[in-house]
Amino acid sequence: MSTTATKIDIRQFELPELEEWFKAKGQARFRAKQVYEWLWKKSAFTFEEMTNLSKDLRKELEEHFEINPITLDQVQHSRDGTIKSRFRLHDGHLMESVLIPVPEDNRFTVCVSCQVGCSLSCAFCATGLMERKRNLTAAEIYDQVVLVNKQCLETYDHPLTNIVYMGMGEPLLTYREVKKSIEMISSEAGLGMSPRRITVSTAGIAKMIKKLADDDLRVNLALSLHAADDVKRDKIMPINEHNNLEVLMESLKYFHQKTKNKISYEYIAFNDFNVTMQDARNLLKLCKHFPVRVNIIEYNSVEGLNFEKASEDRINDFAKFLRDNGVMITVRRSRGKDIDAACGQLANKDRD
């Protein structure tokens, strides 16, 4: 039998656990705080970077622990300035993040992933065609923000302004790691970014929406709605069978009452499916429960799927009806389509 000890990923430790480890080794507890700061505030990816620790202590840390940062595997640049990055994880899996720059609005957003693949199988989504390999750790989500922020500074001379959990995977199905990543991105012990600039997007898991409210993370919430009645939503989003619109509206009301944080509906406009005037009236009813913004999104074609985007005239008529009835609404034009970086297109595809 091998006696070789497996190294532990040090970023899985909370600060009190690190303090106990240092105490057991006869080291001062404040050393744990120094290491924790290097990991989460200074984004150190190696122990050698921790220059206020002695060489002997760094060597001991190296013997017992490992740091498993994500590494850049491929970068693609869109004609519109969007940048898609494919990252390799320590176990060889791949996932993607997208930098969406809107310089004229002083807005630079990273769309981060939380899973390798996805288990929800939404009928219109490229990621849904992939098998879910595993959840990302909080550190792997955090690393996306760190590396894309560096990319943003190098390319646009501006730091990230916003973070959206809208990449590969369902954030509320890997809740513990998503929660910790938000804490380390937003707390003073980490990157110190405002949670008000973080949006968590979900396909709709009612009990976890309530959990998000109870944990008071102060983030914004986006529901991937895409159809305003259960019959249509069942057809394109299997999760609706166990989280129907009535149940979801009740959980969103709870979230709003508990947090007063922003809620938005993401609504992809599909040709001949969900942009009739009846669909608009159904959606209007869902906007009456609490203050909500609706983001109408152009559908981005996915190879092998038979959906088409609605015409611009139909989208504009649909949006006008809602706007005339007092709904806050934005029609979002897709960005990064030419590099498969737009909404619903992330699938780890190789491109020249």
Give Cα separations from 105 to 101, 199, 297 (angstroms): 9, 18, 19
Report the alpha-carbon distance of residue 95 to residue 74 in Å, rounded: 10
Task: Assess whether 343 carries a catalytic annotation.
Answer: yes
Report the alpha-carbon distance of residue 220 to residue 204 in Å, rounded: 14
Among the listed residues 19, 96, 140, 177, the single catalytic one is: 96
Task: Assess whether 96 carries a catalytic annotation.
Answer: yes
- DSSP reduced 3-state for 46: coil
Among the listed residues 111, 118, 122, 343, the single catalytic one is: 343
Using an 8 Å Cβ cutoff, are 289 and 253 in contact? yes
**CA nearest 231: which of 222, 241, 223, 221?**
241
For residue 270, report the phi and psi dihedrals to the nearest 5 degrees.
-100, 140
Give Cα separations from 104 to 84, 101, 216, 292 (angstroms): 20, 9, 32, 25
User: Can you state the angle between helices 15-24 and 30-40, rounded to 10 degrees?
Assistant: 140
Q: Which residues are catalytic?
A: 96, 343
